Amino acid sequence: MAALDVGSNTLHLLVAQLRAGRLEDRRHAVLLSHLGPHVAALGRLGPERVQQTAGRVAELVALARDAGAAPILLAATEAVRRAADRRALQAAVRRQTGLGLQILTGEAEARLSFLGATRGAGVGATVPVVVVDLGGGSTEVVLGMAGAPTSLVSLPVGSGLLLRQHAFDDPPTAVQRAAAAGAIAGHLAGLPPGRPRLMVATGGTAANLPALLGTAPPRAGEEGTLRLSPPGPARATRLSLEDLRAAGARADGAPSAAVAAGTGLHPDRVRLLQAGTQLLLALLEHYRLDRLTVTDCGVRDGLLLDPPGAEPAGG
């Protein structure tokens, strides 16, 4: 089976086997898409970007089919959700793949991310947890016990949006950091209250923090190639507050191209990490936590574990 999500920063494919309620033999493929900036500027994808995105979806679907995956589920999140011509993308994807593209509501995205991240990170059923799905154009924050969210909010801020709104230099200046901190504080005022004991962060930016720190390789495709990773287990890495600060310092320590050369990440991913680490640090401080677990499990896992939960957005 396989799930593919069309996000603000990436197109991400997960191929896995479901055994006894767990996703095993996981394989990933990632393509950078940058739909978020395009939609933010124009309010729509436009005919050229619709066809380009549908073509990339078709390439990833072909990878999944070559791997013998069935069924294959397709879902889109914030950038497509905001695009005025999202129906055109759905039609183009169906023409090129024969598959339907579901457009997730913010609530559905948050719930599926919570399910996938908590299951993948092995969170105990009685542990109060906050799951942060850090995307390019939005950040879903969900509190609850593993498998049972109790409150959620979709914040209109993500790594790509933060990067654009504050026109970060490469690397960002102290003045730009201060302006971004003020904006982040305003968004965090709307977070659900709670005292979680654990934070689990998912999404491409969070999942690549270990690569930025040099403790794990980048995810398959982060360097710009179209390939499936070898089969493997879910990745879940515990990072301390000091680790996250060190990641931010590394992302800011040189131009993104130089950081990319030393980590194997794409320069565009490094730019997103410059913004994403600041947002994650603010979230840790908000919930008074001194560590987090980052995982490559999220909305795709949720789709495969609970397919009926992916209701289409209206409009």
Residues 96 and 117 reside in one and the same domain: no
pLDDT at 33: 84
Return mean pLDDT, the chain: 90
Q: Which helix (H) or strand (E) holds 24?
A: strand 22-32
Range of weakest confidence among 34-48, 150-164, 297-311: 297-311
pLDDT over threshold 70, residue 312: no
CA distance 206 to 264: 16
Provide the 10 A C-beta neighbour count for residue 313. Answer: 17
pLDDT at 309: 41
Residue 310: which pLDDT band, with cuts at 50, 70 and 90?
A: very low
Residue 49: which pLDDT band, with cuts at 50, 70 and 90?
A: very high
Pairing, β 22-32 against β 10-19: antiparallel
pLDDT at 307: 81
Residue, of 308 and 283, whose pLDDT is higher: 283
Pairing, β 2-6 against β 139-145: unpaired
Q: What is the CATH number of the domain that holds 8?
A: 3.30.420.40
Taking the CA atoms of 57, 59, 60 and 66 in sequence, report the sign of the dihedral they define. positive
Residues 129 and 25 reside in one and the same domain: no
For the stretch 226-252, pLDDT in tens is: 888 888 888 889 999 999 999 999 999
Q: Which residues pair with 153 in a beta bridge?
A: 141
Q: How many domains does the chain have?
A: 2
Residues 64 and 178 reside in one and the same domain: no
Residues 183 and 285 reside in one and the same domain: yes
Domain boundary among 64, 88, 105: 105
CB burial readout 141-152, b (16+ within 10 A) else e: bbbbbbeebeeb
pLDDT at 9: 80
pLDDT over threshold 70, residue 224: no
Phi first, then psi, for residue 67 (nearest 5°) are: -85, 0
Range of the domain at 98: 2-105
- 156 with 150: CB under 8 angstroms? no
What are the distances in angstroms from CA 213 to CA 207, 217, 250, 265? 11, 10, 8, 11
SS3 174: helix
pLDDT at 299: 92
pLDDT at 315: 39
CA distance 46 to 89: 9
% of the chain beyond a pLDDT of 70: 95
pLDDT at 217: 82
